[in-house]
RNA sequence: GCCGAAGUGGCGGAAUCGGCAGACGCGGCAGUCUCAAAAACUGUUGGGGGGCGACUCCCGUGUGGGUUCGAGUCCCACCUUCGGCACCA
């Protein structure tokens, strides 16, 4: 009898051994094909939770499988360690952000190691250290040189609680801060932007990427490219510098229906166009709009409001005078900030026209239209009417015809518009990468010379959430000399959005200690792009879009040669508390992984997480089921050790053959499942295999070659899932160290096919009999024995057989009338 | 409103192609062991009905239609849940 399975002892021992041996270190000069596997690095929140395990344990299985398939696998890990929580902890508890963060790194590193993952710790990257963020600064400077980073004043999203600006992507659909759920407002500030919009078309192209369709769809939605025409409407007043209003429209076919014009309240023409009589009202409206938060302004529920400016422009084709309004439903940052309003065919314009008694002219006829007024906007395609020479055209054709006409007349041109906006990276906070820019009274914006990098974050800073960067009050940091002319100048005091850090960390892992640039070109050429990336779907439009942009920008800066960071992407689902709600301390439904590991061992905990269901689905985590995995681990332990060394007492070729078949079928199933990351069914297959071996653990098979092959295969197939117990069993059954350097077992296809099959016999689609027949049965013979079955005869009840369907290897269906 | 994913036993879930619905596991029930309990092991377990019984019949994959010899799987309409976007002209 073998001794008891003691996961704690085994796991500690092997983890130490693997670390001492550097078993998982990826060598740059290994000639085998490379495989770069990456799981999203954790933020240094302080504690590893079940979500981390749920994300990382299955990734580790993928890694170990690739290793067994003969790849030179790199699986690095690090810490995303800049960001607000560190600073908030500093303010609340008087700990320095750096201390807080590095303590958390220490703690989380220890917790991560208990998972028994095949991480290559020698490549660890910690983003809050100057060795890393120096390169953020260098890349930023190169972007600045190329015009990819620019400074602009604009209405920035402002979180009053975090006391900083936010990127568009960091605002929830409720208009609140993604981090603290505070209502976001607007502030006019000079800020740094990166030109992600310049890459919009390239970012829309996901060819060559094996990504989940829904993530691609989300990115496409986010970028929001729409085709249309930019057309001009001449102003009635001729005494202004501007002679026309330019608008973007996707519906040029409705241009005869334009009965008013809407400018965004911030539109530069508003001030110039407004007549003296309307001035007061317009100014009041502009003021009111400015005070509204984004959420109030953008709510589709709010009634359309606006005011007339007193000015008119001319609809070139209908020759009509068109009144110009301002309304907050026109957005300054989309298109030209002006809208040609067609109330008959746009729901917003319709509501506005109704409210302010503006004429509604139908120019696209709905089906069966009899020249009557519309009760609501008709936005579907239809036949053009009231549109002079274009009458009778279908609206789709009309779009092209009018676009052509405008282009011929020189009144407009076809173009595209994008929903995505440039990436605002300035943050008025301390714990981030200092933006390497100096403001000189004489030379204005001056980049820090590369030789002066890194601009190091000073430690002795007072954390006062004032809405301005704490760095502004640090005289030693703030004051400097202009690198160009040498006179007294000040530094940029804002820091970079932490998404900058995670936009290229995957590149840094290739050469984490390289000190003459962000990345060693040789190492990058060897390792990048990432072959398989895994992480949560919440990053679909932020991190994943930023990282794609960054790599393309770095390519154009000559820093890397590839264009896409991540070839394959897998999104795991979200793990919830036992109550089906998000795990949170306030709900009291948090499951601590450390406790589970303490109780059941890492192998069991890992496997249980994978057994819950499909990885991309996530779901509630209920600890009660873990005993099933625990019991199974014990069964495997006993099964392997009890009879491994026995010698065959006598042989039974039938049982041996059936064991061999079970083995090869299991290898096949396991391989197919692991390739598709279907760990739940993979585990089910291994359990079935274990059950079958337990049943046949009889005197006739133990000690035979087939028996050994079965147990060896079981250990090897289980090795990626449960690395510790399998390493221990592998050693105890007299194999060499390490099971994690063995080859993945191969299956013999001829051993996976059955000689006997169950032929299902149906009558009118209902199962009436099951017959055990030879797999090589002919169609005629199968039909014959099916019809001969007593049960079929009984079901026929003397009625006429109309047809007999045969599906090879599966069933016979007798159709009767 | 738009885009995307999903609805299967008491529970988590399985079912590459349209072909035995419920694999595997939890929980439950019964049993073995035990003074007893726990643990472990064995058997059983979709619902309903009939038979002493080997058995047998009916119903059943969110709802309603459809295609098909045959539908959890395909098509149409709808309901519910979750995720994303949302005055984008």
Taking only the tens place, the pLDDT of each residue in A463-490 is 776 667 889 999 999 999 999 999 999 9
Rounded, the Å distance between the CA of A78 and C1' of B48 is 58
Higher pLDDT, A100 or A588: A100
**pLDDT at A590 > cutoff 90:** no
Higher pLDDT, A800 or A251: A251
pLDDT at res. A600: 93
Rounded, the Å distance between the CA of A769 and C1' of B54 is 16
**Minimum mean pLDDT range among A274-283, A439-448, A615-624:** A615-624
Q: Are A308 and A277 in contact (CB under 8 A)?
A: no
**What confidence tens digit (pLDDT) does each residue in A761-797 have?**
888 888 888 888 888 888 888 888 888 877 777 777 6
**pLDDT at A66 > cutoff 70:** yes
Which nucleotide's C1' sits nearest to the alpha carbon of A694?
B41
pLDDT at res. A465: 65
Which nucleotide's C1' sits nearest to the alpha carbon of A613?
B13
**What confidence tens digit (pLDDT) does each residue in A367-426 have?**
888 888 888 888 888 899 999 999 999 988 999 999 999 999 999 999 999 999 999 999
Burial A178-200 (b: 16+ CB within 10 A, else e): bbeeebbbbeebebbbbbbbbbb
Cα–Cα distance measured from residue A463 to residue A473, given in angstroms and rounded to the nearest whole number: 10
Which nucleotide's C1' sits nearest to the alpha carbon of A297?
B87
pLDDT at res. A300: 57
Rounded, the Å distance between the CA of A779 and C1' of B70 is 18
Residues A688-692, mean pLDDT to the nearest whole number: 93
- What percentage of chain A reaches a pLDDT higher than 90? 67
pLDDT at res. A733: 93
pLDDT at res. A612: 93
Cα distances from A702 to residues A320, A643, A648, A691, in angstroms, run: 96, 6, 6, 15
Rounded, the Å distance between the CA of A750 and C1' of B46 is 36
What confidence tier does A671 reach under pLDDT thresholds 50, 70, 90?
A: very high
Which nucleotide's C1' sits nearest to the alpha carbon of A614?
B13
**pLDDT at A92 > cutoff 70:** yes
CA-nearest of A446, A454, A453, A451 to A483 is A446
Rounded, the Å distance between the CA of A693 and C1' of B29 is 27
Rounded, the Å distance between the CA of A347 and C1' of B34 is 78
Rounded, the Å distance between the CA of A793 and C1' of B52 is 27
Q: How far does chain A reach from its first CA to its final CA, in angstroms?
A: 64
In the DSSP assignment, the letter for residue A434 is B
Higher pLDDT, A809 or A678: A678
Rounded, the Å distance between the CA of A685 and C1' of B41 is 22
Cα–Cα distance measured from residue A692 to residue A698, given in angstroms and rounded to the nearest whole number: 11
Sheet holding A72-74, edge to edge: A72-74, A34-39, A530-536, A566-572
List the single protein residue with the shortest CA to C1' distance from B71.
A765
Give the number of other Cβ atoms within 10 Å of residue A447's Cβ.
20
Which nucleotide's C1' sits nearest to the alpha carbon of A252?
B89
pLDDT at res. A302: 67
What confidence tier does A643 reach under pLDDT thresholds 50, 70, 90?
A: confident
Q: Are A156 and A189 in contact (CB under 8 A)?
A: yes
Q: Per residue, what are the HEC states of A212-228?
A: CHHHHHHHHHHHCCEEE
pLDDT at res. A172: 72
Give the number of other Cβ atoms within 10 Å of residue A510's Cβ.
25
Cα–Cα distance measured from residue A500 to residue A135, given in angstroms and rounded to the nearest whole number: 11
Beta strands in A402-455, from DSSP E residues, in sequence order: 412-417, 423-424, 426-427, 437-440, 444-447
Which nucleotide's C1' sits nearest to the alpha carbon of A815?
B69
Give the number of other Cβ atoms within 10 Å of residue A706's Cβ.
20
Rounded, the Å distance between the CA of A675 and C1' of B72 is 25
**pLDDT at A670 > cutoff 60:** yes
What confidence tier does A7 reach under pLDDT thresholds 50, 70, 90?
A: very high
**What confidence tens digit (pLDDT) does each residue in A114-165 have?**
999 999 999 999 999 999 999 999 999 999 999 999 999 877 788 878 777 7
DSSP, residue by residue, A303-358:
PP-EEEEEEEEE-TTT--EEEEEEETTS-TTSTTSEEEE-GGG-HHHHHHHHHHT-
**Minimum mean pLDDT range among A25-29, A170-174, A597-601, A668-672:** A170-174
Q: What is the mean pLDDT of chain A?
A: 90
Rounded, the Å distance between the CA of A695 and C1' of B42 is 12
- Strand pairing class (A756-763; A811-816): parallel
pLDDT at res. A803: 85
**pLDDT at A301 > cutoff 70:** no
pLDDT at res. A294: 60
Is residue A454 reached through a cis peptide bond, with omega within 30 degrees of 0 on the bond before it? yes
Cα–Cα distance measured from residue A307 to residue A287, given in angstroms and rounded to the nearest whole number: 12
CA-nearest of A420, A361, A365 to A392 is A365
What confidence tier does A298 reach under pLDDT thresholds 50, 70, 90?
A: low
Residues A634-641, mean pLDDT to the nearest whole number: 92
Which nucleotide's C1' sits nearest to the alpha carbon of A296?
B87
List the single protein residue with the shortest CA to C1' distance from B5.
A214
- What percentage of chain A reaches a pLDDT higher than 70? 97
Which nucleotide's C1' sits nearest to the alpha carbon of A341?
B89
Rounded, the Å distance between the CA of A628 and C1' of B7 is 26
Nucleic acid strand B: bases within 7 A of protein CB: 3-5, 11-16, 19-21, 23-27, 40-42, 56-58, 69-71, 83-89
Residues A541-565, mean pLDDT to the nearest whole number: 96
Cα–Cα distance measured from residue A99 to residue A477, given in angstroms and rounded to the nearest whole number: 20
List the single protein residue with the shortest CA to C1' distance from B13.
A613
Rounded, the Å distance between the CA of A605 and C1' of B26 is 15
pLDDT at res. A287: 86
Domains of chain A are 226-417 (3.90.740.10), 593-751 (1.10.730.10), 756-816 (3.10.20.590)
Higher pLDDT, A594 or A173: A594
Residues 6+ apart with CB under 8 A from A132: A125, A126, A501, A505, A508
**Minimum mean pLDDT range among A45-59, A315-329, A496-510, A792-806:** A792-806
Q: Per residue, what are the HEC states of A242-305?
A: CCEEEEEECCHHHHHHCCEEEECCCCCHHHHHCCHHHHHHHHHHHHHHHHCCHHHHHCCCCCCC
**pLDDT at A649 > cutoff 80:** no
Residues A319-323, mean pLDDT to the nearest whole number: 94
Rounded, the Å distance between the CA of A355 and C1' of B78 is 35
pLDDT at res. A169: 66
Rounded, the Å distance between the CA of A682 and C1' of B81 is 28
List the single protein residue with the shortest CA to C1' distance from B87.
A329
Q: Are A208 and A158 in contact (CB under 8 A)?
A: no
Which nucleotide's C1' sits nearest to the alpha carbon of A347?
B87
Residues A6-23, mean pLDDT to the nearest whole number: 95
pLDDT at res. A722: 97
pLDDT at res. A2: 58
Which nucleotide's C1' sits nearest to the alpha carbon of A168?
B85
Rounded, the Å distance between the CA of A435 and C1' of B89 is 37
Q: Is A3 exposed, middle or buried (0-12, 13-18, 19+ CB in 10 A)?
A: exposed
pLDDT at res. A768: 83
**What does chain A come to in residues?**
817
**pLDDT at A59 > cutoff 80:** yes
**pLDDT at A293 > cutoff 70:** no
């Amino acid at each position: 009898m073998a001794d008891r399975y003691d996961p704690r002892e085994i796991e500690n021992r092997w983890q130490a051994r693997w670390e001492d041996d550097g078993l998982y270190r990826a060598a740059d000069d290994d000639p085998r094909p490379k495989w770069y596997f990456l799981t999203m690095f954790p933020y240094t929140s302080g504690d590893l939770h079940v979500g981390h395990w749920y994300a990382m344990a299955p990734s580790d299985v993928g890694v170990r499988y690739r290793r067994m398939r003969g790849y030179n696998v790199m699986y690095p890990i690090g810490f995303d360690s800049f960001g607000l929580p560190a600073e908030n902890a500093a303010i609340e508890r008087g700990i320095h952000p750096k201390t807080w963060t590095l303590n958390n790194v220490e703690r989380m590193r220890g917790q991560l190691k208990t998972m028994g993952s095949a991480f290559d710790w020698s490549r660890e990257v910690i983003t809050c250290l100057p060795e890393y963020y120096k390169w953020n600064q260098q890349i930023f400077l190169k972007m600045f040189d190329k015009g990819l980073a620019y400074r602009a004043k604009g209405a920035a999203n402002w979180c009053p609680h975090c006391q900083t600006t936010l990127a568009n992507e960091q605002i929830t659909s409720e208009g609140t801060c993604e981090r603290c759920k505070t209502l976001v407002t607007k502030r006019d500030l000079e800020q740094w932007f990166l030109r992600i919009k310049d890459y919009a078309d390239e970012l829309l192209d996901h060819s060559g990427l094996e990504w989940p369709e829904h993530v691609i769809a989300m990115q496409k939605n986010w970028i929001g490219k729409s085709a249309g025409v930019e057309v001009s409407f001449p102003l009635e007043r001729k005494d202004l510098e501007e002679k026309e209003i330019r608008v973007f429209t996707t519906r040029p076919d409705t241009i005869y229906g334009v009965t008013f014009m809407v400018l965004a309240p911030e539109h530069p023409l508003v001030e110039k166009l407004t007549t003296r009589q309307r001035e007061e009202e317009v100014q009041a409206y502009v003021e009111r709009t400015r005070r509204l938060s984004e959420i109030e302004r953008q709510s589709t529920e709010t009634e359309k409001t606006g005011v007339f400016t007193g000015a008119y422009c001319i609809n070139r084709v209908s020759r009509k005078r068109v009144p110009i309004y301002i309304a907050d439903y026109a957005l300054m940052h989309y298109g030209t900030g002006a809208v040609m309003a067609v109330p008959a065919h746009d729901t917003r314009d319709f509501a506005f026209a109704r409210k302010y008694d503006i004429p509604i002219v139908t120019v696209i006829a709905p089906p069966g239209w009899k020249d009557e007024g519309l009760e609501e906007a008709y936005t579907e395609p239809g036949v053009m009417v009231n549109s002079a020479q274009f009458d009778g055209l279908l609206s789709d054709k009309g779009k092209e015809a009018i676009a052509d006409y405008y282009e011929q007349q020189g009144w407009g041109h076809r173009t595209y518009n994008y929903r995505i906006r440039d990436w605002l990276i300035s943050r008025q906070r301390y714990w981030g990468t200092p933006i390497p820019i100096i403001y000189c009274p004489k030379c204005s914006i001056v980049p820090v010379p590369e030789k002066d990098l890194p601009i190091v974050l000073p430690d002795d800073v007072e954390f006062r959430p004032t809405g301005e960067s704490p760095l502004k009050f640090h005289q030693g940091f703030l004051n400097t000399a202009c690198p160009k002319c040498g006179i007294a100048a000040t530094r940029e005091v804002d820091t970079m959005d932490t998404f900058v850090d995670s936009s290229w960390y995957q590149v840094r892992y290739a050469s984490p200690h390289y000190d003459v640039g962000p990345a060693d070109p040789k190492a990058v050429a060897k390792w990048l792009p990432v072959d398989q990336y895994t992480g949560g779907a919440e990053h679909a439009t932020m991190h994943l879009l930023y990282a794609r942009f960054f790599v393309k920008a770095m390519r154009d800066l000559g820093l890397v040669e590839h264009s896409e960071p991540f070839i394959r992407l897998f999104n795991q689902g979200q793990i919830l508390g036992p109550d089906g709600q998000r795990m949170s301390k306030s709900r009291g439904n948090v499951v601590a992984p450390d406790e589970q590991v303490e109780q059941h061992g890492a192998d069991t905990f890992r496997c249980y997480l994978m057994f819950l269901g499909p990885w991309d689905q996530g779901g509630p985590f209920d600890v009660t089921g873990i005993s099933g995995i625990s019991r199974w681990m014990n069964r495997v332990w006993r099964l392997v050790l009890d009879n491994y060394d026995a010698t065959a007492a006598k042989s039974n070729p039938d049982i041996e053959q059936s064991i061999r078949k079970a083995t090869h079928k299991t290898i096949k199933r396991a391989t197919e499942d692991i390739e598709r990351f279907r760990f739940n069914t993979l585990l089910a297959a291994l359990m079935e295999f274990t059950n079958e071996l337990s049943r046949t653990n009889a005197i006739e098979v133990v000690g035979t070659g087939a028996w050994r092959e079965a147990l060896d295969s079981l250990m090897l197939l289980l090795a990626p899932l449960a690395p510790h117990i399998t390493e221990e069993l592998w050693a105890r059954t007299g194999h060499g160290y390490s099971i994690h350097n063995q080859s993945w077992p191969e299956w013999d296809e001829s051993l996976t096919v059955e000689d006997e099959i169950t032929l299902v016999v149906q009558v009118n689609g209902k199962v009436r009999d099951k017959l055990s027949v030879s797999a090589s049965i002919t169609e005629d013979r199968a039909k014959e024995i099916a019809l001969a079955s007593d049960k079929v005869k009984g079901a026929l009840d003397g009625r006429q057989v109309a047809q007999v369907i045969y599906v090879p290897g599966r069933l016979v269906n007798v159709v009767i009338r």
